[in-house]
Amino acid sequence: MSIDAPVQFVRPREPKPEWLKVRAPGSENYLRLRGLMRELRLHTVCEEAHCPNIGECWHHGTATFMILGEVCTRACAYCAVTHGRPGAVDPGEPARVAGAVAAMGLRHAVITSVDRDDLPDGGASVFADTIRQTRTHVPECRIEVLIPDFQGVERSLHAVLEAGPDVLNHNIETVPRLYRMARSGGRYERSLELLDRSRRHRPAIPTKTGIMVGLGETVDEVVSVLDDLRVVGVSILTVGQYLRPSERHAPMVRYYHPDEFAALKQAALARGFAHVESGPLVRSSYHAHEQAEAVLAPR
């Protein structure tokens, strides 16, 4: 069977521990932002990836915009985003994202995307346009991009960096041994290389990455990844619990206790990361403004 073919997993769900239970979203501000996203025909990774923090983040007026549509060309075993054949690129999307950032009054905006391996540049030009238009409309807003690997094409990475984001984020996701199972379209070495290339091309732009735990990795493997990330100069790290989106996705092997997340945070800080968010409900964009403030000069 091809490694890119859908895999049917059958491991049953385990009951969630108390520290993973969150209140269902429904605040006035959450409903306002949801209406704004619908009105502007925008997608957010908060919704598409079933993020457990959507209620908290949207209540406080922050969101992660997902550009280039809602259909991904890859079928990662851990991810809830729909995969298949994407539609055409919407040339008006960057302007609508910039308009939403302005309407929300954001001081820190996160822009990410699905993988678009069908496009010659992987969608890098749309990232760049979104950064520039957002900077024009809301010059005081910090802009963080969470980018795909662009299949290792360096000029695509450079196109994003030349547009001047404040933070360049690319998630390592898991340990090398689990890439073939969890992230068959990605390559561990390619992700490390992207982070290293970003640092060397634009050293003033801090790099950031995130890893999930609970997929079957060992703690020693996670610590080894931390060492690799420091070698390529990553400044900001997020560590969170993998939560299985459905029975069709990769099984969750175990829940990490909050004390284990605290130990991983200390291990990362001891290795020189400037800022670390580590906890059961942590996701890549969780408290993103606080992460940036730890490494960026005040605007």
Q: What pLDDT, in 10s, does the model give residues 82-93? A: 899 999 999 999
Which of 54, 59, 51 has the alpha carbon at shortest distance from 30? 59
Residue 129: other Cβ atoms inside 10 A: 19
For residue 49, pLDDT over 60 is answered with no
Residue 259 Cα distances to 27, 37, 184, 264, angstroms: 30, 37, 31, 9
Domain positions in the chain are 24-293
pLDDT at site 8: 46
Assigned token pair, 21: 């239970």
| Strand partners of residue 275 | 236
For residue 222, pLDDT over 70 is answered with yes
What is this structure's pTM? 0.85
For residue 178, pLDDT over 90 is answered with yes
> CATH for 24-293?
3.20.20.70
Residues above pLDDT 90, as percent of the chain: 63
Q: Say if residues 42 and 96 touch (Cβ distance below 8 Å).
A: yes
Q: How far is CA 122 from the centre of its chain?
A: 16
Per-residue pLDDT of 55-79, as tens digits, reads 566 555 566 888 999 899 999 998 8
HSE, side-chain direction, 13 A CA sphere, residue 40: 24
pLDDT at site 191: 98
